[in-house]
Structure 1
């Protein structure tokens, strides 16, 4: 028999990342006793953070143990942020498998630790607008969100004001301004792009809006520009939940956090109400139960969906919350066109541009906004880019030898300019996850089978994206310009997976309401990217945090009335 935790908490949260930590902060500050379960271990800056470690200080000089990475992290190692310095922030793929059809590859990048993926996220923080929340009303495709920008605006304000987001105010309807710290500076390449692209196309080129501090904020110092954010941050100068939101919850004295707790399923009673969750200790595999009046799943979009699918009972034979048949469907992830760029010969120099800015530039979505309509597809895309000088990397391709060659290496450091386009993925029923009928993870829990691919709308959008990128490359007058790769990015590669537990007003078309509350079980909530109805072309994390803060306020209010 599994051992039950002796305390019945007011609320139990599964997951300690961006979403779970915000729910914990809001609930504990409103007087609720909260238990948080995290599948992975805690991370210690003195042991796990490596932003100031140099290659000569580690065993494989930054290249990593290739054999070990291929064996234990064959998927995770493909992430741009996973290397010898940071691989500890990513899961062991051998312990955490999943499956997909041979002809529909899916890349699932995961972080299991206290803080989730907030140690190594790219920190880009953009508000959604009614171009996202009411997209169906604009173009007729799919469903609207059951909330509007006006509903979420005060929670965007709350989140930005607390975590610290640097950015510029641009007055764009499609990308609302927020409560910003001063923006990061653009690089030389970024400033040139702003001048050239603004003049030729009339598009705004702006610094990325990022959760990096440009000023000291709430006891945390400003960014010191070491440019290694994916390795952790000793000074907590970018948002990660163990440095920002979890301490706020802990200070109330009402948060209990259990790490290394791998949740299998939600425990339901005969009346269809949740009583807690069933979990296994990560290291010992011992079986445990935790009890609470309210259960909040904030384990990431696909992990929360997996827990619901595994929560099968006589009352819920297809998974908890799945009376509509919608659970697991409408999976989305952004797609990108990558590899475009070239050299700016006017910036080649023996002196390098000061490095360390943890962001580049953004060209906001312009297509299918206002009068800019493209009839070949619905929704839209944006661009990211930057310029940089990599010290001595050019030496590998520089002909010659001897003292003259060494002089060229030192004095002719090239300046590279790169640009990427990122587009919106439509929510489609045929993009879904379900439980694999045979495969299980290291703790005996059935794993996900993911079936997802991009459709005709994404391919039509990609053509327009490619044409725009080529025009930008031409306008920038680059030396040795390289066009973007033809292939779209692999589904999941952008680590923005959303959908599969989408919210809605109609229980027949959705799984949860606008507060993430299951239509089928009023004391079970989902508070992460799983609830998204559409995705837009911007990063989802800021919206995930705002939705989580809003859901938590609703939970606290309803709990105080005894309605849950």
Structure 2
């Protein structure tokens, strides 16, 4: 295949435009550096007329609001999915890892849950606490200044609670709890479970001229046309371009490998242009990989050179190792007291208004890491599958629906809004035996070798999920709710989602001080290549019982400041 050589050289080439890539682009461009962003999917702006979908009815969607054709993102707002035609991945040794990829400008930040939690002091030193995994080479105090900056730049609502391992930040006003959430609060307090306002990157009060304020349409999955919720394009890339930063976008361009010279310095990124299906190179003084933890590992493992025969930066043999995702398990219940409730607009933000951070001490339990709970329900816009949920409610309440037309509608209205759901999201233990690697026998439609996954849950995660369901049942009992789902047993892994399904995968190129036992430095630079940095979840040492996005953003900003400093010192 002929490779088209570039004529322009950028200061920084960034692969991926999600949280880490977008933050790095903004900070570096505003420092006066020329930046190129490679994105595997198309350009996307939720405010553009051709993509603006807020305030439209579910039945106007090409998918009628259902997720059977493409997961997440109503109105086809998520370009990608669990399976992408022509871009397979494989599993080995009984593994069943599920890999969600979002190929569009802004990546997953266009349709994520916006739950924006800081890691706490204990989350950077889990090995010192329970002897499992490894400690980070940095502490909470190292990252705190950047968490503060991210809070102020992007905006996050919440409340100051003084919880030691759930650090407070700079918060916008949180929305009030909805009715089903008030019931949850009642049951949780009876069960001794902490409840606080949610912390989400949704702007509930004006913060700058580039961002609108949330008007509570509950449609964040479509990304926000007034930029009131956080997505990388809306809040990082576009404002940086508007302010004069030089950021050139190369969309529909899939990175294949990082090229190096005889001095073992990275010189360019090779990529496939999906439009003409030809391979090109784009040169940069610094290369930043922010393609997501698994995609970044794939690029590095496919970057072969005489000194890097096992993949670029892989002298430790650890690229792809210690892959881990959040645990997840859920339950649903029917609240008889909410039958026949008054109908009113209860949309709120596109997610939970309250949640429960981890409230117990794992030293007193039979599993090592904690979880938080997320609550859902209420009078949101009905979606497809709604009728099947009604049948479960009616069976639980020993009621039977009959007839057609008006009778059916009356029954549906009576049961509507009487359901509550609880989901647990917890920390798994990073293990070397959970990993991704290059499949030697399979390539994608562009001829690039694909990833093969090896991942299984351990008893640590199974016992944690069992505890989740015990908690769910205690909360339901406290509010007189009737469970609509059975409590899963050991034969069902206590209801654990498959690895990867929570879409918090991290850890494939973990940071550390010893090059023999890690892939990057504490500033996310490859130990083996001085001008290649990683700005996604790949350098994570452990996950915490929190969503990773806020930490990816903070660490990317910290990394970008380090790059600027090193360039000034002519060390790169």
Name whichever of 211-220 and 537-546 sits farther off: 211-220
Alpha-carbon distance in 2 for matches of 1:83, 1:442: 27
Equivalent pairs counted in the alignment come to: 548
Alignment of 1:312 onto 2:304? yes
Alignment of 1:365 onto 2:363? no
SS of aligned partner of 1:5: coil
Residue number in structure 2 paired with 1:72:
none
SS of aligned partner of 1:222: coil
SS of aligned partner of 1:419: strand
Alpha-carbon distance in 2 for matches of 1:557, 1:189: 50
Q: How many Å apart are 1:184 and its aligned residue? A: 2.0
SS of aligned partner of 1:293: strand
Residue number in structure 2 paired with 1:194:
185
Q: How many Å apart are 1:205 and its aligned residue? A: 1.0
Residue number in structure 1 paired with 2:324:
332
Residue number in structure 1 paired with 2:276:
284
- Whether contact under 8 Å (2:78, 2:102) holds in the other structure is no
Alpha-carbon distance in 1 for matches of 2:363, 2:345: 39
- Using structure 2 for the length normalisation, give the TM-score: 0.91
Residue number in structure 2 paired with 1:293:
285
Alignment of 1:426 onto 2:429? yes
Residue number in structure 2 paired with 1:32:
33
Unaligned runs of 5+ in 1: 70-76
Alignment of 1:207 onto 2:197? yes
Residue number in structure 1 paired with 2:491:
none
Distance 1:364 1:521, change over 3 A: same
Distance 1:405 1:522, change over 3 A: closer
Alpha-carbon distance in 1 for matches of 2:96, 2:375: 27
Distance 1:345 1:170, change over 3 A: same
- Whether contact under 8 Å (2:340, 2:413) holds in the other structure is no
Alpha-carbon distance in 1 for matches of 2:307, 2:449: 20
Q: Deviations over 1:23-76 (max 9, x none)?
A: 111111222221211111102432234232223434553347x6xx3xxxxxxx
Q: How many Å apart are 1:214 and its aligned residue? A: 0.7
Alpha-carbon distance in 1 for matches of 2:4, 2:462: 52
Q: How does 1:404-423 map to 2 (within 5 A)?
A: 406-411=409-414, 413-423=416-426
Residue number in structure 2 paired with 1:545:
553
Q: How many Å apart are 1:526 and its aligned residue? A: 0.7
SS of aligned partner of 2:495: coil
Q: How does 1:436-451 map to 2 (within 5 A)?
A: 436-451=439-454
Q: How does 1:4-153 map to 2 (within 5 A)?
A: 4-44=5-45, 45-59=48-62, 61-63=64-66, 69=69, 77=70, 79=71, 81-82=72-73, 84-88=75-79, 90=81, 93-101=84-92, 103-153=94-144
Residue number in structure 2 paired with 1:381:
371
SS of aligned partner of 1:283: coil
Distance 1:418 1:29, change over 3 A: same
Q: How does 1:129-528 map to 2 (within 5 A)?
A: 129-198=120-189, 200-219=190-209, 220-250=211-241, 251-346=243-338, 348-352=340-344, 354-360=346-352, 361-368=354-361, 373-389=363-379, 393=386, 399-401=401-403, 406-411=409-414, 413-485=416-488, 486-528=494-536
SS of aligned partner of 1:262: strand
Alpha-carbon distance in 1 for matches of 2:118, 2:441: 41
Alignment of 1:531 onto 2:524? no
SS of aligned partner of 1:531: coil
Alpha-carbon distance in 2 for matches of 1:340, 1:412: 14
SS of aligned partner of 2:173: coil
Unaligned runs of 5+ in 2: 395-399, 489-493
Alpha-carbon distance in 2 for matches of 1:87, 1:552: 28
Distance 1:484 1:26, change over 3 A: farther
Q: Deviations over 1:5-25 (max 9, x none)?
A: 212211111111110011111
- Whether contact under 8 Å (1:351, 1:411) holds in the other structure is no
SS of aligned partner of 2:300: helix
Q: How many Å apart are 1:128 and its aligned residue? A: 0.1
Name whichever of 254-263 and 480-489 sits farther off: 480-489
SS of aligned partner of 2:168: coil
Q: Deviations over 1:393-448 (max 9, x none)?
A: 46665512365554444455451111111221110000011101121112111110
- Whether contact under 8 Å (2:358, 2:545) holds in the other structure is yes
- Whether contact under 8 Å (2:371, 2:426) holds in the other structure is yes
Q: How many Å apart are 1:119 and its aligned residue? A: 0.8
